[in-house]
Amino acid sequence: MVIDKKSVEKKYSIGVDLGGTNIVSAIVKYQGKIVNRLKVPTLAERGKGATIKRIIETIHKNIVQSTIAPGDIIGIGIGAPGPLDIKKGIINFAPNLPGWRDVPLKKILEDEFNMKVVLENDANAAAWGERCFGAGQGVNNLVCFTLGTGIGGGIIIDGKIYHGNNCGAGELGHMTVNKDGPRCNCGNYGCLEAYSSATGIKNRIKNRIKEGIKSEFLHFDSDDELSESLRLKSIFEAARKGDRLTSDIVEEAISYLGIAIANIANILNPEMVVLVGGITNEGDKLLIPLRKEVRERAFYSNYKSLKIVIGKLAGNAGVLGAAALLWIPNNYSCRG
Ligand SMILES: [Zn+2]
């Protein structure tokens, strides 16, 4: 890991993970140790101004609780949903944050805290976190899939986050895996996210039940009840017990993820694919069939040299990666 020597004297930075559901803020020591962490609901429905106020209040509270002198903090790194203008620090649009259009979050926070602020795509921040402090330490060619409500991705090439021509690289959830597949949130059809995200899995189960296909373990009288009961954990449990409907959907979710990883293996030949997010709680139940799918599809030499692993930072990959952006120089070669 390369650390800017001048910055090491000031040993802390702040990582913020801005999500549609929660804002997580953490004061992080430069070796990756979290000194103080706060998680508050985003309450995005209250509007842009209210959310920005909550971000600012949370960071202030975080600093106070940590008892670290603000002068010892070198800056703030924010992982945010995109599309973003990373260079200018502007959130152009965020589907899960209503009313957010061209918000200059970097400038707003620089004015408020009088310290350096870096904005990064949330999945890139998670990839960077795993690379600096988690499963990918010392790995220079790494691809990270963030498997949550949606699917994001971060690509690290030669030790640097790959941003692409205009900062739009890494949208792994929106690679088409089946041209005739279900509609995705992005408007396209057959994206990986429509199959292998938590939302994709739940929607596909709901649709099957509505079509009249019976599940042995999931019973519902109303739509509300259906949404309430469909937790990822119970879906995987039902699949394990042999419930046909859920096991079909789960197998397909894993299979399509394997197809996506095989594509990545053949195109980029990375050393490691790191998976983070709720579905990774399944551990080997996910990894074993996934590796089998990748082995069957990727060039053998690319598969053989590829480690497919689960991230080590649990829910903190994003904040740790965002905080690490302050210490570890990265390239922003995209035009913005
Ligand atoms: Zn899509």
Q: How far apart are CA 313 and CA 136, in angstroms?
A: 11
Each domain of the chain, given as residue ranges in start order, spans: 5-129, 136-311
Computed over every residue of the chain, the mean pLDDT equals 91
Q: Which of 176, 170, 127, 150 is nearest to 268 (CA)?
A: 170
CATH topology of domain 5-129: Nucleotidyltransferase; domain 5 (3.30.420)
Ligand 1 centroid, distance to 150 Cα (angstroms): 9
pLDDT of residue 327: 83
Architecture per CATH, 136-311: 2-Layer Sandwich (3.30)
pLDDT of residue 51: 96
Q: How far apart are CA 297 and CA 205, in angstroms?
A: 27
Ligand 1 centroid, distance to 185 Cα (angstroms): 6
**pLDDT tens digits for range 44-95:** 999 999 999 999 999 999 999 999 998 999 999 999 998 899 989 999 988 7
**pLDDT tens digits for range 13-44:** 999 999 988 999 999 998 899 999 999 999 99
Neighbours of ion ligand 1 (CB under 5 A): 174, 184, 186, 188, 191
Ligand 1 centroid, distance to 198 Cα (angstroms): 14
pTM of this prediction?
0.92
Q: Which of 196, 173, 194 is nearest to 251 (CA)?
A: 196
95 preceded by cis ω (within 30°)?
A: no
Ligand 1 centroid, distance to 268 Cα (angstroms): 21
Q: How far apart are CA 247 and CA 245, in angstroms?
A: 6
Please determine whether the domains at 5-129 and 136-311 fall in the same fold group of CATH: yes
- The whole-angstrom distance between residue 272's C-alpha and the CA centroid of its chain comes to 16
Ligand 1 centroid, distance to 113 Cα (angstroms): 36
Ligand 1 centroid, distance to 169 Cα (angstroms): 14
